[in-house]
Amino acid sequence: MTIRIQLAQVEPTLGNLEANRTLHLAEIEAARADRAQAICFPELSLTGYFLKDQTSEVVLSRESAFLAPLLEASREISVGLGFVERARDGRAYNAYAWLEDGRITGLHRKVHLVTYGMFEESRDLAAGEHYRPIESKLGRLGVLVCEDLWHMEGAWLYFQQGVDALIVPSASPARGVEAGQDGLGSVRTWRSLLETTATMTQSWIVHVNRTGWEDGISFGGGSRVIDPYGNEVGALAGLDPGRLVVDVDPREAARARTRVPLRRDEKPWILRRELDRLAEEHEQ
């Protein structure tokens, strides 16, 4: 079964929920016109990224009526989008929701908040603590929000749980113009990391980054799809908003794992034993 996915490399308006919802609905309609079965938006696509003191003004619960038009749209197409989620205990999370058939069928809270350099996510946001697959009608999916991909345990844990694809939304700045090199250093680094992760986990990877400017920072785009063998099958170049439509076959992940049975030969009990040993040493 081949699935058509559209990547929406958009430029959200910082702090403007209404404008961003309108943008989402327009992109969803365009994806439907292209006969896509799923559309993926970047990290914090409903709110913008550098929110700071605006965080409390844009936070939404999963039950918020504001999401109703997007949920309704998901009756025709699966939708992945980013927003600031208010949990029942009052904490706010950088969250990515998967919408299908008029409801939220899965939600990932960003585990690795970025608080170094220009970033200060943990000032206003709580960190997630789980990597739980989303059971989509399109396959079994794992979500890694931006920095989550830079830490090995997330992709590996999803691999152990047999996901078909990793959805990687990001709000990654454009950095690293170097003499003698083509393109941005940040885009090259992301491509290398995505290709390596796809090869090691034998999973499809759908990476959708945003564009535009906030607080004088430019976001780098470079959205792309990588197959379970580490091959790029589609990409968006440049720093402008754009749409990328790619047909993927979830069964290809199973084929890759049959040809080279990495998952079969993993030894997670050794990892657990060694982690216990390191914890004991740390306590001494």
Rounded Cα distance, 164 and 141, in Å: 6
Q: Taking residues 65-74, what's their average pLDDT?
A: 98
**Has residue 182 got a pLDDT over 90?**
no
Over residues 89-102, the mean pLDDT reads 98
pLDDT in tens, 214-267: 989 999 999 999 999 999 999 998 889 999 999 999 999 999 999 999 999 999
What's residue 284's pLDDT? 77
Q: What is the pLDDT of residue 1?
A: 78
State which CATH number among 3.40.50.720, 3.90.1640.30, 2.30.30.30, 3.60.110.10 fits the domain covering 3-283: 3.60.110.10
Which sequence spans correspond to the domains of the chain? 3-283
Q: What is the mean pLDDT of residues 113-126?
A: 92
Q: How confident is the model at residue 97 (pLDDT cuts 50, 70, 90)?
A: very high
Residue 184's pLDDT band (cuts 50, 70, 90)? confident
The per-residue pLDDT for 181 is: 47
pLDDT in tens, 25-64: 999 999 999 999 999 999 999 999 999 999 999 999 999 9
